[in-house]
Structure 1
Amino acid sequence: MKLFEYMGKEIFSSYGITVPRGRMADNSQDAANIAREIGGTVVVKSQILAGKRGKGGGIKFASSPEEAGEAAAQVLAMTLNGHKVEKVLVEEKIQIDKELYLAITVDGSAKKPVIIASAQGGMDIEEVPDEHIVKQYVDVSIGVYPYLGREISRQLGLTGSIGKEFNRLLPILYKIFREKDAELVEINPLVISGDKLIAADSKMTVDDDALFRQKAVPYVEDRTSIEKQAHDLGLAFVELGGDIAVMANGAGMSMGSLDTLAYYGGKPANFLDAGGGTGVEGTTKAIELLLQTNPKVIFINIFGGITRCDDVANALVQVKNAREIPVPVVIRLVGTNEEAGVRILKENGFEAYKVMHEAAAKAVEIANAS
């Protein structure tokens, strides 16, 4: 579960990490009042669960309460990276002498927490060359002791009071990581401001499976409306923003479908794992979800093991009989009861492919021609 920036900063502050003075607002009047309390120039920051807010115009500066209210009204009217802005964070503008990057996350391959740091923080951190990134694994039986902070601080070139402050901050960040069951805690940028280190931004992701013991952490729903429907149906569904709706049975088959479509130049609209053993009713609901993405074409890729090909075919026919399917449907159908499934499809005007890449290429051809 991802947390909004203001939520992460509230947690940081409660543990003793310095953050800019500010509060969350969900309307322009509250934003103006917060700016009045802070005084001076403030920053109005959109609160969405996505990055690149600055490049999208979701971060604005204001030198008066009135300007802060106007900026908040503008930002609250935005949709950034597909996310409707419903909250803003109004906080003081801080002096920035240098921007660093600091994060702790889980390295699945090493099966250990890893500290990632860089002296080149701020925007476009993903583009920083590997030689400017510091990585240190953490032995969970030992934790983050001062020597580890001193080593990372040395590699970042931090000395004097800033080096000491970094050595104080790092164990605190690791404590948050452990105590909040986080998958990620990130400060970008971690700002050097005079003799202080200030967390100018925050990103936190909490392990969904640990939420039952994180009662103090506010629950954040980050699914889209279609993703919520899929979740309620027990389906794994993620919107991707393309124009080819995809359904497959199994996570591996679903990922393979997306990769194959991309190989031929297609843009998948979603990830949908209909699961093994999904019957007519479940498959019908899955297809109806796909239609909500307004695709140019639907690509169904089934390798029937537990899932029966005739069930998939009957589900598609059931949807067709209940409502108009306004876009072409490309189907790859192989496996259990394959002959019956293919026969049902042909009797109802659908063509079935046997080879995945041929079906994927056809789906991309249709989408690109529309």
Structure 2
Amino acid sequence: MRLHEYQAKELFADAGIPVPDSQRATSSDEVLTAVEDIGYPAAIKAQVHVGGRGKAGGIKIAGDKQEAKAYAEEILGMEIKGYTVNSVLVEASVDFENELYIGITMDRSSGKPVAMVSTEGGVDIESVAAETPDAIAREHIDPVFGLHPYQARRAVYDAGVPSDVASDVAHILSTLYTQYESADASEIEINPVMITTDRDVVAADAVMNIDEDALFRQPELASMEDTAAGDDLEIKADEYGFDYVRLDGDVGIIGNGAGLVMTTLDLVDYYGGSPANFLDIGGGAKAERVANALDMVFTDDNVDAIVFNIFGGITRGDEVATGINEALEKFDTIPKDVVVRLAGTNAEEGMEILNTDRVEVEATLEDAVEQAVINAQEVHQ
């Protein structure tokens, strides 16, 4: 469960981490009231569960009342990567000299949490990790003992943080780990941590994701969940009982079994495409679940073409074919090209049932994926 920035900052402030003066607002009138209290210049920041708000126009700096009103009306109600902006955070602007990144997440390769510090804050940390991995200092944490003070200091030192603020940054890092552990967080980060012209250290952003499996023992955090913040796909996924992972590509993927779906994602990339989602319908899926899966992917605006990859074990090919037919019967014109690869249990029976006038069928997974990638590319030609 992801908290909004304003929620995470409230928790940070309660823990003693310095944050800018801010107020949440849900209307332009509330924005004007807040910015009069906070003063100009002030940042108006969209509150949505997605990154890249600034690039999408969801963060603006208002220098006066006229700009504040215009930016509020522009940002409230806008769509950012499928999410509607229902509220904004009005925040005092920070006059800064440097930006840092600090965060805690789980390193699954080591089976331990890892603390990270970088002087290249304010940008996508994934890009930093891919392009200049040495720019990120890391300290793995033994969960039995927690983050030792010397580890926090070493991470800050190794990252090259200026010495006059190193102690403050190390303290914030230690505080973040305390929150990470006590809140059953899966990820917690500040990007950027701003070093002001007065050499103060301020958390200018806040990300905090809570392990949903631990919410039963985090009732206060569970009560912060913003169910209205989910996009239509998340709502539909909850209704259908799917774990739908939305990606940045345009080739929709449906399969039975996590490994099979992951293989399909890899092949889409191999053939020059880009996966739009991860959707595992599970073993033994009946016709209704198959139809619901297609309905899910048809709803995703990012998807231009679909590959349906089924290798039947418990899942029966005839049930899959029946579900595909039921899903397609709802449309006079199929909204997106569908390529089906059907193998395994009752595959032959499924092929006899499948309405091949409305879908493309390929004998091998490689051929199916390649055709789906071609279909997606043709949409943009």
| TM-score > 0.5, shorter chain as reference | yes
Give the match's secondary structure for 1:2.
coil
Of 281, 285, 288, which aligns to 2:288? Answer: 281
The Cα of 1:203 is off from its aligned counterpart by 0.8
Give CA-to-partner distance per residue, 1:3-51, whole Å, 9 cap, x none: 1111111100000100000111111111111111112311111112222
2: distance between equivalents of 1:348 and 1:70? 51
Give CA-to-partner distance per residue, 1:60-110, whole Å, 9 cap, x none: 112234432222111214222332222111111122021111101111111
The Cα of 1:350 is off from its aligned counterpart by 5.6
CA contact (8 A) 2:117 2:156 kept: no
Give the match's secondary structure for 1:265.
coil
Give the match's secondary structure for 1:189.
strand
CA contact (8 A) 1:227 1:239 kept: no
> Which residue does the alignment assign to 2:167?
164
The Cα of 1:335 is off from its aligned counterpart by 0.4
2: distance between equivalents of 1:114 and 1:31? 38
> Which residue does the alignment assign to 1:207?
211
Of 341, 356, 359, which aligns to 1:332? Answer: 341
CA contact (8 A) 1:36 1:64 kept: no
Q: Which amino acid aligns with 1:73?
A: E
Aligned pairs for 1:265-276 within 5 A: 265-276=272-283
Aligned pairs for 1:1-370 within 5 A: 1-128=1-128, 129-158=132-161, 161-193=164-196, 194-217=198-221, 218-221=224-227, 223-240=230-247, 242-293=249-300, 296-321=304-329, 323-324=331-332, 326=334, 327-345=336-354, 352-370=361-379
CA contact (8 A) 1:345 1:351 kept: no
CA contact (8 A) 1:235 1:275 kept: no
For residues 329 and 61 of structure 1, do their structure 2 counterparts lie closer, same or farther at Cα, with a shift above 3 Å needed?
Answer: closer
Give the match's secondary structure for 1:135.
strand
TM-score (norm 1): 0.92
Q: Which amino acid aligns with 1:238?
A: V
The Cα of 1:273 is off from its aligned counterpart by 1.1
TM-score (norm 2): 0.89
Give the match's secondary structure for 1:298.
strand
For residues 17 and 352 of structure 1, do their structure 2 counterparts lie closer, same or farther at Cα, with a shift above 3 Å needed?
Answer: same
Give the match's secondary structure for 1:219.
coil
Aligned CA RMSD, in angstroms, stands at 2.3
| More displaced stretch, 87-96 vs 213-222 | 213-222
The Cα of 1:290 is off from its aligned counterpart by 3.0
Give the match's secondary structure for 1:174.
helix
Give the match's secondary structure for 2:354.
helix
CA contact (8 A) 2:84 2:231 kept: no
The Cα of 1:279 is off from its aligned counterpart by 1.2
For residues 238 and 154 of structure 1, do their structure 2 counterparts lie closer, same or farther at Cα, with a shift above 3 Å needed?
Answer: closer
2: distance between equivalents of 1:48 and 1:38? 22
For residues 320 and 195 of structure 1, do their structure 2 counterparts lie closer, same or farther at Cα, with a shift above 3 Å needed?
Answer: closer
For residues 258 and 146 of structure 1, do their structure 2 counterparts lie closer, same or farther at Cα, with a shift above 3 Å needed?
Answer: closer
CA contact (8 A) 1:116 1:136 kept: yes
For residues 190 and 293 of structure 1, do their structure 2 counterparts lie closer, same or farther at Cα, with a shift above 3 Å needed?
Answer: closer
CA contact (8 A) 1:187 1:199 kept: yes
Runs of at least 5 residues in structure 1 that lack an aligned partner in the other structure: none
Between the aligned residues of both structures, percent identity stands at: 38
CA contact (8 A) 1:244 1:297 kept: yes
CA contact (8 A) 2:43 2:90 kept: yes
The Cα of 1:179 is off from its aligned counterpart by 0.9
1: distance between equivalents of 2:278 and 2:216? 27
For residues 191 and 259 of structure 1, do their structure 2 counterparts lie closer, same or farther at Cα, with a shift above 3 Å needed?
Answer: same
Give the match's secondary structure for 2:101.
strand
Q: Which amino acid aligns with 2:257?
A: G
For residues 345 and 351 of structure 1, do their structure 2 counterparts lie closer, same or farther at Cα, with a shift above 3 Å needed?
Answer: farther
CA contact (8 A) 2:116 2:155 kept: no
> How many correspondences in the alignment?
370
For residues 175 and 39 of structure 1, do their structure 2 counterparts lie closer, same or farther at Cα, with a shift above 3 Å needed?
Answer: same
Runs of at least 5 residues in structure 2 that lack an aligned partner in the other structure: none
For residues 175 and 154 of structure 1, do their structure 2 counterparts lie closer, same or farther at Cα, with a shift above 3 Å needed?
Answer: same
| More displaced stretch, 136-145 vs 319-328 | 319-328
1: distance between equivalents of 2:199 and 2:306? 57
